[in-house]
Chain A
């Protein structure tokens, strides 16, 4: 009831509210990109068109990076009634893209490694790509991905269908890569978390300083 009242008052400013905010925007963007990708990239059969629209990456974002490695996150939804096996991701401006899974080391640290055989997304379900969890890993960036920029990448299924998705770049200091021993070197995620925390506190301090200076 109070909600109705709120909307009633806000009359002069009231317009439709997009409750989902940017998440929804991105799913829309991803949706249209899929259609484009479908017509340009695939072109083989009408069946692939159906499949292309069957996967969507909602709330897609990529960690902004000047070079080296980065990762793509979002909720990959299987809109069909059959399981889909995601086996590969492609990004034009990088040397390599891998599908990664993350495993805890039991002490807050994480190690990430390539997911053998890719990910299977059950019919109608979603796979969450998130920092500290499964993600799409981009390695050997050949071009900076700047905050606010939109990139597109191709997701390839075991049936060799390709879906183009877009992700918006966000400045993000988490999601620091760490590899399982023997795979590559990397800093401990433990450290990464501490760094992040320290930065936050610094910011708070500088706030106070700013206020106190007169």
Chain B
């Protein structure tokens, strides 16, 4: 079912069976955020199931009553962990643990084996051993469990295995960090399209962690629910902005180079308008991380109250994109390449030099790209609100930091956003069927 994507295919077949979200994504992936990406974005904007489309076609929006997403699974075993290149699910739980005193390699390996076995079962819709609520394990709904290692955990295998970047980021002037949200030796990123399944998975993983570790911090995030808008669309954050337009598409050459740090060796690869990223960004990673990547997780508080003071023109000026389509102020479509030299009738650049997108990409080379897999959070009306900014990249120094440094220096959005948590993680390769996540490190 890999129907070539044309507008006709998508819009004339509003039934669910005719919707190839995979086809859409593959198309989007092929071009990243570039020229081909723009075409894909166009098609995506007209995905079936949206009320607008249904209305245009004279049909009615339909409720999905067949539970088709429950049995969907993402792979667990493999050379790479799921939950990185996996199209983002609707919900995420991030939970960080610190090792209990006295935990050595043997205990860490027992813990990782338990968590691996739990995750392997849960992600495939099966109850792990000793699951006292085994009925909650069915309907995985694309559950993924992604492991991140902090320096203390890696150091159990020997200090020489700890990469020099696996430490807190340098301090930024914009940071107002809560030190309790900057700790952790093991991170579990648990994502899925069903919140009940997720709660159960977290409970199982937590129960099998209690003997080895304490919870350092945790945070739950969300995006659009499965089925609301169709997969593959850029998510909106709580400011109402499209967030992640410039992401490399899953399956693309850009993604392979930017996140996994090596090219796919595809002949004639297609790149985004940013140009070809180097194919060796992952060359610096230690051998136990082959097949892995790095994660910078920033907990960014968003002040919805002061954001309310800003009217639409101020909001769009600050970001450099329109609020509705997410198009750069120099263009028409979300995936149009921003033109930072375009001027308006007064001779001013259409995109301000201090707008978010100008600071984040203008003048930066093709290696300075990341993949953000963001989730919103809000703890109730008037409560904490913000964004779990999960940034995956092969090389933090060459990819993440140049962007972060510039944004910390000047970015109009900083007026409403405040980093309050920050952690750095090594994402090890996936587990083999008889092994466990981290085996290359502890038994390699």
Give residues in A with beta carbon < 8 Å to B.
1-23, 25-26, 28, 59, 61, 63-64, 73, 131, 146-149, 168, 170-172, 174, 196, 200, 203, 207, 210-212, 214
> Given that A9-B87, A22-B118 are contacting pairs, would A1 and B126 also be in contact in the complex, using a CB cutoff of 8 Å?
no
When the two chains form their complex, are residues A148 and B72 in contact, meaning their CB atoms are under 8 A apart?
no
Give residues in B with beta carbon < 8 Å to A.
1-2, 17, 20-23, 25-26, 68, 71-82, 84-87, 107, 109-111, 113-114, 117-118, 120-122, 124, 126, 128-130, 132, 178, 203, 206-208, 210-212, 215, 217-220, 250-251, 255-256, 260, 264, 379, 383-384, 420, 430, 433-434
When the two chains form their complex, are residues A14 and B75 in contact, meaning their CB atoms are under 8 A apart?
yes
CB<8 Å pairs between A and B, sample of 5: A6-B73, A12-B85, A148-B113, A200-B203, A203-B206
Q: How far is the CB of B153 from chain A (nearest CB, A)?
A: 15
> Given that A16-B433, A214-B178 are contacting pairs, would A147 and B132 also be in contact in the complex, using a CB cutoff of 8 Å?
no
When the two chains form their complex, are residues A148 and B111 in contact, meaning their CB atoms are under 8 A apart?
yes
When the two chains form their complex, are residues A148 and B114 in contact, meaning their CB atoms are under 8 A apart?
yes
Contacts of B82 in A (CB 8 A): 10, 13
Please give 6 more A-B residue pairs, beta carbons under 8 A apart, in addition to A9-B26, A17-B76: A5-B20, A6-B22, A11-B251, A12-B256, A13-B82, A16-B77
> Given that A1-B1, A12-B85, A18-B120 are contacting pairs, would A147 and B110 also be in contact in the complex, using a CB cutoff of 8 Å?
yes
When the two chains form their complex, are residues A25 and B22 in contact, meaning their CB atoms are under 8 A apart?
no
Contacts of B130 in A (CB 8 A): 61, 63, 73, 170, 172
Distance in angstroms between the alpha carbons of A79 and B420 in the assembled complex: 58
Q: How far is the CB of B325 from chain A (nearest CB, A)?
A: 25
Distance in angstroms between the alpha carbons of A59 and B17 in the assembled complex: 37
When the two chains form their complex, are residues B86 and A170 in contact, meaning their CB atoms are under 8 A apart?
no
Q: Which of B207, B384, B433 contacts A211 (CB 8 A)?
A: B384
Distance in angstroms between the alpha carbons of A149 and B113 in the assembled complex: 10
When the two chains form their complex, are residues B129 and A17 in contact, meaning their CB atoms are under 8 A apart?
no
When the two chains form their complex, are residues B74 and A21 in contact, meaning their CB atoms are under 8 A apart?
no
Contacts of A11 in B (CB 8 A): 251
Chain A residue with Cβ nearest B80:
A13
Q: How far is the CB of A177 from chain B (nearest CB, A)?
A: 16
When the two chains form their complex, are residues B210 and A171 in contact, meaning their CB atoms are under 8 A apart?
yes
When the two chains form their complex, are residues A147 and B114 in contact, meaning their CB atoms are under 8 A apart?
yes
Q: How far is the CB of B378 from chain A (nearest CB, A)?
A: 10
Q: Which of B72, B73, B78, B178 contacts A13 (CB 8 A)?
A: B78
Q: Which of B72, B128, B218, B384 contacts A214 (CB 8 A)?
A: B384
Distance in angstroms between the alpha carbons of A28 and B433 in the assembled complex: 11
When the two chains form their complex, are residues A14 and B78 in contact, meaning their CB atoms are under 8 A apart?
yes
Q: Dominant SS at the B interface?
A: loop
When the two chains form their complex, are residues B110 and A18 in contact, meaning their CB atoms are under 8 A apart?
no
Chain A residue with Cβ nearest B1:
A5
> Given that A5-B1, A23-B121, A59-B129 are contacting pairs, would A10 and B110 also be in contact in the complex, using a CB cutoff of 8 Å?
no
Distance in angstroms between the alpha carbons of A214 and B114 in the assembled complex: 32
When the two chains form their complex, are residues A13 and B111 in contact, meaning their CB atoms are under 8 A apart?
no
When the two chains form their complex, are residues A12 and B118 in contact, meaning their CB atoms are under 8 A apart?
no
Q: How far is the CB of B373 from chain A (nearest CB, A)?
A: 14
Contacts of B218 in A (CB 8 A): 207, 210-211
Q: How far is the CB of A46 from chain B (nearest CB, A)?
A: 29
Contacts of A23 in B (CB 8 A): 121, 126, 129
When the two chains form their complex, are residues A21 and B132 in contact, meaning their CB atoms are under 8 A apart?
no
When the two chains form their complex, are residues B220 and A211 in contact, meaning their CB atoms are under 8 A apart?
yes
Q: Which of A1, A2, A10 contacts B86 (CB 8 A)?
A: A10
Chain B residue with Cβ nearest A63:
B130
Q: Which of A9, A20, A28, A61 contacts B126 (CB 8 A)?
A: A20
Distance in angstroms between the alpha carbons of A200 and B1 in the assembled complex: 44
Distance in angstroms between the alpha carbons of A131 and B77 in the assembled complex: 29
Q: How far is the CB of A144 from chain B (nearest CB, A)?
A: 11
Q: How far is the CB of B112 from chain A (nearest CB, A)?
A: 9
Closest 3 CB pairs of A and B: A148-B110, A21-B121, A15-B78
Distance in angstroms between the alpha carbons of A16 and B76 in the assembled complex: 9
Contacts of B124 in A (CB 8 A): 17-21
Distance in angstroms between the alpha carbons of A203 and B420 in the assembled complex: 24
> Given that A131-B132, A174-B132 are contacting pairs, would A146 and B85 also be in contact in the complex, using a CB cutoff of 8 Å?
no
Distance in angstroms between the alpha carbons of A14 and B73 in the assembled complex: 11
Chain B residue with Cβ nearest A17:
B75
When the two chains form their complex, are residues B211 and A171 in contact, meaning their CB atoms are under 8 A apart?
yes
When the two chains form their complex, are residues B75 and A10 in contact, meaning their CB atoms are under 8 A apart?
yes
> Given that A1-B1, A147-B110 are contacting pairs, would A9 and B217 also be in contact in the complex, using a CB cutoff of 8 Å?
no
Interface centre among A172, A174, A212, A214 (most CB of B within 10 A): A214
When the two chains form their complex, are residues A211 and B129 in contact, meaning their CB atoms are under 8 A apart?
no
When the two chains form their complex, are residues B126 and A19 in contact, meaning their CB atoms are under 8 A apart?
yes
Distance in angstroms between the alpha carbons of A64 and B114 in the assembled complex: 13
Chain B residue with Cβ nearest A19:
B124
Distance in angstroms between the alpha carbons of A4 and B3 in the assembled complex: 13
Q: How far is the CB of B314 from chain A (nearest CB, A)?
A: 27
Chain A residue with Cβ nearest B16:
A2
Distance in angstroms between the alpha carbons of A21 and B75 in the assembled complex: 11
When the two chains form their complex, are residues B129 and A22 in contact, meaning their CB atoms are under 8 A apart?
yes
When the two chains form their complex, are residues B430 and A13 in contact, meaning their CB atoms are under 8 A apart?
yes
Contacts of A64 in B (CB 8 A): 211
Q: Which of B114, B251, B264, B434 contacts A170 (CB 8 A)?
A: B114
Contacts of A149 in B (CB 8 A): 110
Chain A residue with Cβ nearest B81:
A13
When the two chains form their complex, are residues A211 and B434 in contact, meaning their CB atoms are under 8 A apart?
no
Contacts of B120 in A (CB 8 A): 18, 21-22, 25
When the two chains form their complex, are residues B68 and A2 in contact, meaning their CB atoms are under 8 A apart?
yes
Q: How far is the CB of A212 from chain B (nearest CB, A)?
A: 6
Q: How far is the CB of A209 from chain B (nearest CB, A)?
A: 11
